[in-house]
Amino acid sequence: MSTKVRTNIQINHKHYQVDTTEMTGAQLKALGGIPEQNLLFREVHGPGDDEQIQNDTVVHLHDGDHFYDMPPGNFGY
């Protein structure tokens, strides 16, 4: 008996249910309607910086993951 994996994630506070446990940064951006040039982050619970996801990075998804984007150049360097 085959069971489909359904992973619940959020991108910019919008819920998505995907049938996989791995997606690239580019696929996550496409799913969330995020421009390719924007930066993508996965929220990290607790202290520490959120994880930046590159377009070609394969992300291992976990139920409840939250992602958000930010336009490039928004950092105060």
pLDDT tens across 11-27, in order? 999 999 999 999 999 99
> Is 23 within 8 Å of 61 (Cβ atoms)?
yes
If you average pLDDT over residues 38-48, what whole number do you get?
A: 93
Sign of CA pseudo-dihedral 9, 21, 44, 32 = negative
Q: What pLDDT score does 74 carry?
A: 64
- Backbone φ and ψ for 64, nearest 5 degrees, come out as 95, 0
Token code pair at residue 64? 């409840």
Q: Where are the domains of the chain?
A: 1-40
User: Which residues, listed in sequence order, are joined to residue 60 by a DSSP beta bridge?
Assistant: 22
Per cent of the chain over pLDDT 70 is 91
- Specify the higher pLDDT residue, 45 or 35: 35
pTM here?
Answer: 0.88
